[in-house]
């Protein structure tokens, strides 16, 4: 019982007081946009949320497809990733790095890196690995 009470007090002490809010960044908000196809000719649709500088989002490749019927009995090509998870910490000025991880099966772990920068009223995302796509996101 004492542990629960101490935990409740610790949480209450960590919460901001009434009327106060967490610090925000000038680039906080929800960002959306579509990239060019890059060298893979596969554009991504981005949805990114930045809250207090923390970045969380996803990118979806609508051209990705899973396994197809194999009429030649040859080994099937590996399915391409269709959903990427995006995480990182944003900086209000200058560029910052983001990490991407693909939603794929088993040991086929695919990850990449993005560079983001605020440019006027938009957020420019550039892929530094893989297809080298570039996207201009808006709120």
Residue-wise pLDDT tens digits, 4-15: 545 455 555 554
| 1 located within any domain | no
Phi, psi of 9 (to 5 degrees): -65, -40
Q: For 36-57, how does the pLDDT look when each residue is reduced to its tens digit (9 = 90+)?
A: 988 888 899 999 999 999 999 9
Contact 135, 35 (CB under 8 A): yes
| 16 located within any domain | no
Tokens at residue 21, please? 């809010």
Domain span at residue 56 reads: 22-63+79-137
H or E stretch covering 86: strand 83-89
| 59 located within any domain | yes
| 54 located within any domain | yes
pTM of the predicted protein model: 0.70
- Domain tally for the chain? 1
| 3 located within any domain | no
Return the closest-CA partner of residue 25 out of 51, 57, 56.
Answer: 51
């Amino acid at each position: 019982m004492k542990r629960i009470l101490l935990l409740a007090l610790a949480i209450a002490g960590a919460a901001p007081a009434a009327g106060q809010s967490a610090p925000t960044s000038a680039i906080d908000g929800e960002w959306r946009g579509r990239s060019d196809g890059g060298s893979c000719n596969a554009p991504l649709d981005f949805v990114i949320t930045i809250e207090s500088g923390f970045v969380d989002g996803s990118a979806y490749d609508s051209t990705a497809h899973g396994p197809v019927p194999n009429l030649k009995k040859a080994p099937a090509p590996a399915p391409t990733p269709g959903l990427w998870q995006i995480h990182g910490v944003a900086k209000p000025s200058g560029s910052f790095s983001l990490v991407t991880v693909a939603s794929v099966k088993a040991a086929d772990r695919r990850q990449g890196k993005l560079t983001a920068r605020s440019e006027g009223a938009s957020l420019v995302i550039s892929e530094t690995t893989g297809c080298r796509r570039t996207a201009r996101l808006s709120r």
